[in-house]
């Protein structure tokens, strides 16, 4: 009888105590990463404007841009100001394209890689990309290197998937580790934290530029990326193909072993098969989805960057701190609109119709911003 109890105990061992690392969730990583992204959105345009002003012998005011609005429109100084704004716009566009085009291809690779090898490895790519980006920009700002070196930061960032890859992996992580009842609630929380993190970074960056200058802000971003890397290392893997668990179960293995049957050559072949023509039109759908992704990244980067130049000029003449607050509110209201408006619209419209309504609202925002002449109208447009 005693031996039977022993066998039963061995066959049904009591559940082991969960490690504190197994209780970690992905939300702190996402909000911290988006805080760093919010810092980058404004500072890169501000720095370009500063450097191009120096090269054009145009003196930018240190704390308040209202000096620009006091320039005589027929003066040579005003012509230099217009030239600086034009060159800054061009540089912003070139860097945005250099960042967006590689992301068009890397996003597919990293998405498939996360399904095959787990979420954590895919999360590390954009973190490394942002670390390289911040190092390059910090060195250029500190040692006044050529602006062309900035492409050495923008291109690797795109190749690493940009910020959307980490955000997408975070949502996938939540889907892997929650039940159907928990999933919607956690998704909403994650979406709110994503926009709040980026918005907080936007608000902080203006005050940081005025207080400590450009290089320290880039080094602060690098430190944030180091913290994110450490958190990813501690974060348990979530994907069922790696953990062997079904979605909704708490991951038990802190550092699980990758799938032993994974074959890199087969992985690339299956990825290429997605773009091969087939009777169902999958190839064209994939091309269309990638084009939409490319346009989305390009519009987000370009719109937020253009806002900085637009608010610095006439008739607004905003300071860096006020521009940061403005861009921060843009992120926050966009997140609230996505959570509240997206939920309400989907009660009455299909997904495609909801997407079209969101596009029309963005067009309306662009039109209001373009024709804004007062601060109130500009804020209402956002």
Residue 275 resides in a domain: no
Residue of 96, 106, 34, 126 lying closest to 298 (CA atoms): 96
Residue of 166, 88, 64 lying closest to 123 (CA atoms): 166
Q: State the pLDDT confidence band at 25, using cuts at 50, 70 and 90.
A: very high
Range(s) of the domain holding residue 64: 22-248+285-348
DSSP label of 14: P
* CA dihedral sign of residues 144, 146, 151, 152: negative
Task: Give the integer Cα–Cα distance in Å for 123 and 165.
Answer: 7
The answer to whether 212 touches 204, Cβ cutoff 8 Å, is no
Note if the pTM is more than 0.95.
no
Residue 217 resides in a domain: yes
Q: What is the pLDDT averaged over residues 228-232?
A: 97
Task: Give the integer Cα–Cα distance in Å for 70 and 66.
Answer: 7
Give the CATH number for residue 143: 1.20.1250.20
Q: State the pLDDT confidence band at 284, using cuts at 50, 70 and 90.
A: confident
Residue 232 resides in a domain: yes
Number of domains in the chain: 1
Residue 55 resides in a domain: yes
Residue 238 resides in a domain: yes
For 40-98, what is each residue's pLDDT tens digit?
A: 988 988 899 889 988 888 776 555 554 566 666 777 887 888 888 889 989 988 998 89
Looking at residue 281, what is its pLDDT?
A: 76
Q: Is 248 left (phi over 0), alpha (psi -120 to 50) or beta?
A: left
E strands present in the chain: none
User: Would the pLDDT of 210 be above 50?
Assistant: yes
For 292-333, what is each residue's pLDDT tens digit?
A: 777 776 777 778 778 877 887 777 888 778 888 888 888 888
Residue 53 resides in a domain: yes
- Looking at the chain, the whole-number percentage of residues with pLDDT higher than 90 is 29
Highest mean pLDDT among 280-289, 349-358, 361-370 belongs to 361-370
Work out the burial of residue 275: count CB atoms within 10 Å of its CB; fewer than 13 is exposed, 13-18 middle, 19 or more buried: middle
- Please, how many CA atoms are within 13 Å of residue 68, restricted to the half-sphere of its CB? 26
Residue 195 resides in a domain: yes
The answer to whether 34 touches 201, Cβ cutoff 8 Å, is yes
């Amino acid at each position: 009888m005693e031996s039977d109890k022993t066998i039963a105990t061995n066959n049904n061992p009591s559940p082991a105590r969960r490690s504190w690392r197994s209780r970690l969730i992905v939300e702190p990583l996402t909000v911290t990463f988006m805080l760093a992204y919010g810092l980058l959105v404004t500072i890169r345009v501000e720095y370009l404007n500063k450097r191009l002003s120096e090269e054009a012998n145009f003196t930018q005011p240190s704390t308040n841009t209202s000096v620009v609005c006091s320039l005589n429109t027929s003066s040579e100084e005003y012509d230099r100001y217009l030239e600086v704004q034009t060159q800054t716009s061009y540089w912003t566009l070139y860097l945005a394209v250099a960042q967006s085009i590689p992301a068009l291809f890397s996003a597919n690779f990293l998405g498939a890689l996360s399904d095959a090898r787990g979420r954590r490895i895919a999360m590390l790519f954009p973190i490394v990309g942002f670390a390289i980006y911040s190092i390059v920009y910090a060195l250029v700002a500190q040692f006044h290197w050529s602006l062309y070196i900035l492409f050495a930061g923008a291109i690797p960032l795109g190749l690493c998937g940009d910020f959307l890859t980490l955000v997408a992996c975070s949502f996938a992580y939540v889907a892997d580790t929650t039940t159907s009842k928990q999933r919607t609630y956690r998704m909403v929380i994650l979406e709110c934290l994503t926009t709040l993190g980026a918005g907080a970074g936007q608000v902080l960056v203006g005050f940081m530029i005025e207080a400590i200058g450009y290089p320290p802000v880039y080094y602060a971003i690098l430190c944030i990326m180091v913290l994110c890397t450490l958190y990813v290392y501690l974060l348990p893997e979530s994907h069922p193909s790696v953990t062997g668990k079904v979605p909704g179960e708490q991951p038990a293995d802190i550092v699980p072993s990758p799938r032993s049957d994974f074959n890199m050559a087969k992985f690339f072949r299956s990825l290429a098969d997605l773009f091969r023509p087939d009777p169902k039109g999958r190839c064209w759908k994939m091309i269309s989805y990638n084009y939409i992704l490319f346009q989305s990244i390009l519009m987000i980067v370009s719109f937020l960057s253009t806002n900085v130049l637009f608010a610095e000029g006439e008739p607004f003449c905003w300071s860096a701190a006020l521009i940061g607050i403005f861009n921060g509110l843009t992120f926050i209201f966009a997140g609230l609109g996505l959570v509240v408006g997206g939920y309400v619209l989907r009660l009455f419209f299909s997904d495609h119709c909801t997407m079209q309504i969101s596009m029309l609202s963005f067009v309306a925002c662009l039109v209001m911003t373009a024709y804004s002449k007062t601060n109130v109208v500009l804020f209402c447009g956002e």
